[in-house]
Chains A and B, each alone.
Chain A
Amino acid sequence: MADTTKSFEPGQEFTSRMRMMTRERMRWYVDAQPTVALDTGRIERQEPTIHDDDDYARSQGLPGIIADGMVSTNWIMGLLIDTFGDHVARGGSLRTRYIKPVYEDDKLTSHARVTSAEKADGKTAYKLEVWCSNGNGDPVTVGEATVVVPN
């Protein structure tokens, strides 16, 4: 649980635990989409995608399945919530760009670095650089976030 009474300084960096992008993790997100859309109270499935079907992925010019970018976006958001608390889901912003493919069994780590902290009206607005890197240390998802925390 995040200690929301803490304050943070520009340059401070946070890192998540490493997670392997397994076939199961890719499929969980694929299945979540029709499950949310249909809201039947059951897990729903959809047509093959490049995230869960190797043959379909290869038909689209890929070497195999790749992860949906929104998985890494959510993992970055999880790191921000672990650091700043659930204020992250109640205000602010998050922007992520997907710059490299994430393949099955890639080892992903989420990162956030404070770039500014401005206090006003009883709140602190933090701006952060955020990214996910793979096992080689290469960024695969990059972006920025703003988190607003009451003082």
Chain B
Amino acid sequence: MTTGRYVSDLDEGDVLGPVEYTISRFVIREYAHAVELHEDCFQHKNGQIAPPTMVHLDKLRLYKHACPAGTGPHARVHVEYDATIHAPVPAEARLKIEGRVSSRYLKRGRDYVHMEIEMRLAETNALLVSYRDTVILSYKGEEKEGNRANG
């Protein structure tokens, strides 16, 4: 178990969470504005739902919960987003998120980490979104394969 300090310490088998929170109308609108998703389903009060891409921020929520010392010495590179939507994410819902580091390996001198995250309704445990996130840790410069950090 390598949770409890830096994100860069995470290793295969680590479980992050569960963490519960309520997804407010305000944060859905703020996120949607930030990424220019101006569709009614994200902005209007009646039947408002969250962009499913917000599951990526659940990874950061889980990092904060499980790795309170922060990222570690180097910026992290987000290389892949892979989400399956099982049901819409309703505004004002109480959500339960949990993550599991499914693998960590070295490839061409870089540390790859895959994390599987599930977002569920806290009350019923119904699965809303399953997400597989891939990052490179210990990023030290511009590389061909990955180019985003802190994601």
Contacts and interface: CB of A to CB of B under 8 A. Distances in A.
A15 interface: no
A70 B53 contact: yes
A92 interface: yes
Interface residues of A, number: 49
A66 interface: yes
A141 to B, nearest CB: 9
A95 B81 contact: yes
Nearest to A44: B30
Interface stretch (B10-18, B102-110, B114-122, B138-146): B138-146
Interface in B51-87: 51-54, 56-57, 60-61, 64, 74-75, 78-87
A66 B142 CA distance: 10
Contacts of A95: 80-83
Secondary structure type dominating chain B contacts: mixed
A54 to B, nearest CB: 14
B86 A73 contact: no
A8 interface: no
A41 to B, nearest CB: 6
Contacts of B75: 49-50, 60
B56 to A, nearest CB: 6
Contact of A36 (B30, B41, B42, B52): B30
Given A77-B53, A90-B49, A91-B86, A68 B78 contact: yes
A86 interface: yes
A69 interface: yes
B51 A67 contact: no
A77 B56 contact: no
Given A32-B34, A74-B37, A75-B35, A98 B148 contact: yes
Task: Choose among A36, A43, A67, A97 the residue with the greatest number of B CB atoms under 10 Å from its CB.
Answer: A36
Contacts of B41: 86, 89
Interface in A5-45: 19, 25, 28-29, 31-33, 35-37, 39, 41, 43
B22 to A, nearest CB: 8
B80 A97 contact: yes
Given A82-B39, A89-B88, A94-B83, 13 more contacts: A33-B57, A33-B60, A39-B26, A61-B142, A67-B148, A70-B56, A70-B81, A71-B35, A78-B36, A86-B39, A86-B40, A91-B85, A97-B80
22 contacts: A32-B35, A32-B57, A33-B57, A36-B30, A36-B31, A39-B26, A60-B74, A61-B140, A63-B142, A70-B151, A73-B56, A74-B36, A77-B37, A77-B52, A77-B53, A86-B40, A89-B50, A90-B85, A98-B78, A98-B80, A101-B148, A102-B147
